[in-house]
Structure 1
Amino acid sequence: MNHVPLLINGELCQSATDAYIDVTNPANNDVIARVPCATSDEIEQAIDSASKAFETWKDVPVTERARLMMRYQALLKEQQKEIAEILAAETGKTFDDAMGDVWRGIEVVEQAMNVPSLMMGETAENVARGIDTYSYIQPLGVCAGITPFNFPAMIPLWMFPLSIACGNTFVLKPSEQDPMTPMKLAELFKQAGAPDGVLNVIHGGKDQVEPLLTHPTIKAVSFVGSVPVGQHIYRTATANMKRAQCFAGAKNHTVIMPDANKEHVLNNLVGASVGAAGQRCMAISVAVFVGEAQAWIPELAERIGQVKPGPWTDKDSAFGPLISPQARQRVLSLIESGKQQGATCLVDGSEVTVPGYEQGNWVGPTVFSDVTPEMDIYQQEIFGPVLSMVNADSLDEALTLVNNNPYGNGTSIFTNSGAAARKYQREVTVGQVGINVPIPVPLPFFSFTGWKNSFYGDLHAYGKQAIRFYTETKTITSRWPESDIPGGPNMTISLS
């Protein structure tokens, strides 16, 4: 049995713990590895290692830090398929989806390669007579990241490359459900030439997260996961004087106007709703059909119903299983609640099985129409291959529906009207908006900007906001007089 190692001070090491968590293949629930719950002493060692490494890493020239990211990016590209195979085996994602997971992470590493220009300060000459002002951007210290199961390559790569490129050191606590992918990323980072202690990886559950939120050495915490956990992490971290960025739940709506390109809409909604078994924080889980577009609902349901789940080793699989039996049971209970509360189940995936993989966590594509806002399937983030369809008479009615939702991660509109698109993007209270694009995840030179209950914090992931999150700004005001300055003491606050 593969026992997943820790990474502490540059060494891959087996934990001294006697508490382990099984890592299973979601397609059949076979145990494929065991992940340790790091001991308190091991967590302290990881933090101490990062603290000591910071004393020298912060002084490494920014150009050298950028070159480390260049080497790392090259290794990730060379081994993208190998990483994707590990990822698919422990998450159940199809191979193509796993490749996309890795690639979206590589794109953030490419952004980290630009750190010399991203960390440039500002300067102004002669702000007062003989006085210049300029600013430097400097690292915080030791930072920590807590990552979810659904993107075990992309989301760790959102965090530690940018943080380390800025001159910080990092402690990563990946999801205990799929830790082998993050460990492969860490091994490649070490292979790229990262000094010992710059990146440390610990494993476990809630008990291993808490010390990262309270330890005085850690200066910033980044988290991606559920709403209640995100709220707890944000409150605890900030109460302990740390920066925190916590990405939480979502209920993403797409609005379909009757003037939209029908074929484009239907093709995009199939993948955006049930791709990756719906286990994406940016999945489209609510489709709002406006006016005459409601006539397209039966055809969309028919197309989604033709999508078949299966194991990642089958190239014909459209999506894989849910991550765990508990996740499957939760999705099934919500599907049942939709039926009981009066929604029309046009496609029912609750009884789906896959031949040869009967013990897997399968839920087939499921489509509801006649969904209303008070229903559980509308109010809760299902995180499964379930699409709820809602009717609206106008764009204004659709906007009101979206804006009344407590989440604000992502939304999209399909239309051929520039006026409708502009009205929607201006008035919708959601942080990321797609126009004729179903899943508007920005490329990493922008930032990932969820709003409302989808995010707790001030500065978002990757892009320029991440550089600000992982750094402090130091402003210097200087005067170098050529001779004595006449006039006596200055008793005011003004510069003169």
Structure 2
Amino acid sequence: MRDIRHFIDGVSVEGKSGRFGDVFNPNTGEVQARVALATPSELDAAVQSAQAAFEGWAATNPQRRARVMFEFKRLVERDMNLLAEMLSSEHGKVIADSKGDVQRGLEVIEFACGIPHALKGEYTMGAGPGIDVYSMRQPLGVVSGITPFNFPAMIPMWMFGTAIAAGNTFILKPSERDPSVPVKLAELMMEAGAPKGVLNVVHGDKVAVDAIIQHPQIHAISFVGSSDIAHYIYSNGTANGKRVQAFGGAKNHGIVLPDADLGQTVKDLTGAAYGSAGERCMALPVVVPVGKKTADELRERLVAEIPTLKVGVSTDAEAHYGPVVTEAHKQRVLGWIDTAVQEGSELVVDGRGFSLQGHEKGFFVGPTLLDQVKPTMKSYHEEIFGPVLQILRAETFEEALALPSQHQYGNGVAIFTQNGRAARDFAARVNVGMVGINVPIPVPVAYHTFGGWKRSGFGDINQHGMEGVRFWTKTKTVTARWPESALEHQDSSFVIPTMR
């Protein structure tokens, strides 16, 4: 059986713990590999490698670091097909979706290629008599990212791209469910010219996570995953003196006003709810039609649209989505559908009995549609993270606005309308971090910032864009005076300096 190893100090390293995690092929249900689970000492070896590389890498001028990013981007594009195939074989998403995963990560790498401009500080000449003031952005040191299974290429690149370009060295702890692509990305970073130790990959479970949280030489942690774990990492990481951004779960809503183009809206909803088997933190699992007429027509159109979706193996070019990542996750999704029915939701389309001929042991869940969902239901309150769309009807715009605003999660929300004033009002008032207007998955472009509110995000600084640069750097401010001669000596002053 294939072993997936750590990547430390520029080379593949065999795990020493004797503990391994199974890596499945979700299309067949078979174990295809095992991944080493690190001990704290193995994590420390990666940290020491990163620490040894830091001084030289931080001293490398930003333009040369950017050249490494340019070359890394070229190599990832060269190996796009290979990366997509690796990703699909362990995650289960279809090849086209896997390429999208890689491409969205590359967009942040493209932003990181402009790091010389992003690192420019501020300068004031003559802030006081003969005094100039300027600031500079400097890297933190050894930093870390803990990434989820659902985007094994995109989210690691979101994190390490900006961090490394800014002069930090990086420890990546990817999901143990689909760990091969992160290792390949680290290999490509070395091929691109990054010195050994700049990017290390350490696999593991809670043991490795706690070792990252507690390690005194790791200065910052970026995390994406469930909200409970995000809160755990944020609370414990900050208690250990680290800068932490921790992004959690989501329950994104799509508000459909009566004037919406329902034909386009249905296409948008099915793609956003069922794409990648619903395993996206920016999926759209709740639709809120306003008014009975809108709700009834939307439901009718969804019922007609869902049978056109094709669920297939990840290599099927005609499939709209593939299996979920593991059997355990499949059972979790099915359990939430059962719960929704027990709570009184109407099961309009049932995906629980789906089976793909020839792949009966694969982790497939058919597209599911639930109506008559109520805000008091636990299945609405919690994240399902599967191909399940819930219809929650609202009578008025204000009622629809209140639903995402009052929900425990505040990652993303979308509104479908042709009324610009209503859309503007909604975007300004809704208590959610990212808003789409006729855009079902409002993930911002790489030079803007990504981040949710409430239990979707812990910490004060978001991911990528200039927020990412701020997270991975610290600001130093210098106040300088250069007297013309020794004759300009001034008397001692015992009051706070001013610029008068």
1:309 CA drift (Å): 1.2
Q: Distance in 1 between matches of 2:294 and 2:136?
A: 54
Structure 1 CA distance for aligned equivalents of residues 12 and 326 of structure 2: 28
Whole-angstrom distance in 2 between the partners of 1:385 and 1:262: 21
Check conservation: 1:223, 1:230, Cα contact below 8 A.
Answer: yes
Per-residue deviation, 1:487? 6.1
Query: 1:436 matched to which residue of 2?
Result: 438
Tell me if 1:147 matches 2:147.
yes
Task: Give the match for residue 406 of structure 2.
Answer: 404
Give the aligned length.
496
Give distance in 2, aligned partners of 1:319 and 1:470: 35
1:18 CA drift (Å) = 1.3
Write the letter of the residue equivalent to 2:395: D
SS in 1 for 2:462: coil
Residue identity matched to 1:128 = G
Match of 2:104 in 1: 104
- What SS does the corresponding residue of 1:392 show, helix, strand or coil? coil
Query: Please, which moves more after superposition, 405-414 or 25-34?
Result: 25-34
- Correspondence 1:491 to 2:494: yes
Amino-acid identity (%): 46
For residue 210 of structure 2, what is the aligned residue in structure 1?
210
What SS does the corresponding residue of 2:4 show, helix, strand or coil?
Answer: coil
1:308 and 1:364 in contact (8 A); partners too = no
Q: 2: distance between equivalents of 1:490 and 1:314?
A: 77
Q: Which residue pairs with 2:314 in the alignment?
A: 312
**Residue in 2 that maps onto 1:382:** 384
- Distance (whole Å) between structure 1 residues aligned to residue 330 and residue 150 of structure 2: 14
123-132 or 291-300, which deviates more = 291-300
Q: Is it true that 1:261 corresponds to 2:261 in the alignment?
A: yes
Q: Deviations over 1:316-356 (max 9, x none)?
A: 21111111111111111110111111111110000100001
8 Å CA contact 2:333–2:384 kept in 1: the answer is yes
User: For the aligned residues, what is the CA RMSD?
Assistant: 1.1
Q: Deviations over 1:381-418 (max 9, x none)?
A: 00000000011111111011121101110001000001
Deviations 1:110-148 (A, max 9, x none): 011000000000011111111110001000000011110
Deviations 1:29-62 (A, max 9, x none): 1111110012332211101110111021110111
Q: SS of the residue aligned with 1:246?
A: strand
Structure 1, unpaired ranges of 5+: none
The correspondence of residues 128-277 of structure 1 with structure 2, limited to 5 A, is: 128-277=128-277
Tell me: CA distance 1:342–1:125, structure 2 relative to 1, closer, same or farther (3 Å): same
Q: Secondary structure at the match of 2:167?
A: coil
**TM-score calculated relative to the size of structure 2:** 0.98
Q: Is the 8 A contact 1:94 1:317 kept in 2?
A: yes
**Aligned partners of 2:23 and 2:34 also within 8 Å:** yes
What are the ranges of 5 or more consecutive residues in structure 2 without an aligned counterpart? none
Stretch moving more, 9-18 or 46-55: 9-18
Q: Find out whether 1:420 has 2:409 as its counterpart.
A: no
Q: What do residues 196-236 of structure 1 show as CA deviations (whole Å, max 9, x unaligned)? A: 11111111111111110011000000110001111111111
Question: For 2:222 and 2:303, how far apart are their aligned partners in 1?
Answer: 38
| Match in the other structure for 1:481 | 483
Letter paired with 1:426: A
Amino acid at match of 1:110: E
Give the Cα separation in 1 of the matches to 2:190 and 2:480: 41
2:361 maps to amino acid = Q
Partner SS for 2:116? helix
Residues 296-305 or 366-375, more deviating = 296-305
- The corresponding residue for 2:72 is 72
**1:490 CA drift (Å):** 2.6
Q: What letter matches 1:182 in structure 2?
A: P
Which residue number in structure 2 is paired with residue 89 of structure 1? Answer: 89
Alpha-carbon distance in 2 for matches of 1:485, 1:392: 75
Give the superposition deviation at 1:302: 2.5
Q: Distance in 2 between matches of 1:29 and 1:240?
A: 40
2:19 maps to which residue? 19
TM-superposed CA distance for 1:190, in Å, is 1.1
TM superposition shift of 1:260: 1.0
Quote the Cα distance in structure 2 between the aligned partners of 1:452 and 1:296: 30
Q: Who is 1:322 aligned against? A: 324
Q: How far has the Cα of 1:6 moved from its partner?
A: 1.1
Moved more, 287-296 or 137-146: 287-296
Residues of 1 paired with 2:451 and 2:381: CA distance?
21
Indicate conservation of the 8 Å contact 2:40/2:207, yes or no.
Answer: no
Q: Deviations over 1:303-324 (max 9, x none)?
A: 1243121101222211111111
> What amino acid maps onto 1:16 in structure 2?
K
Q: Is the 8 A contact 1:305 1:366 kept in 2?
A: no
For 1:384, give the aligned amino acid.
G
Deviation at 1:486, TM superposition (A): 6.8
Tell me which moved more, 300-309 or 153-162. 300-309
**1:140-180, Cα deviation, whole Å (9 max, x unpaired):** 00001111000000010011121010000001111000001
Give the secondary-structure state (helix, strand or coil) at the position aligned to 1:284: coil
Cα deviation digits, residues 260-280 of structure 1 (max 9, x gap): 111110110110001100000
Q: Give, in whole Å, the separation in 2 of the partners of 1:135 and 1:453.
A: 34
SS, match of residue 223 in structure 2:
strand
3-state secondary structure, aligned to 2:390: strand
Q: Is the 8 A contact 1:409 1:430 kept in 2?
A: yes
8 A contact 2:25–2:92 mirrored in 1? yes
Separation in 2 of the partners of 1:300 and 1:62? Answer: 51
Given that 1:305 and 1:347 are in contact with CA atoms closer than 8 Å, whether structure 2 keeps it comes out as: no
In 2, distance between residues paired with 1:39 and 1:339?
A: 43
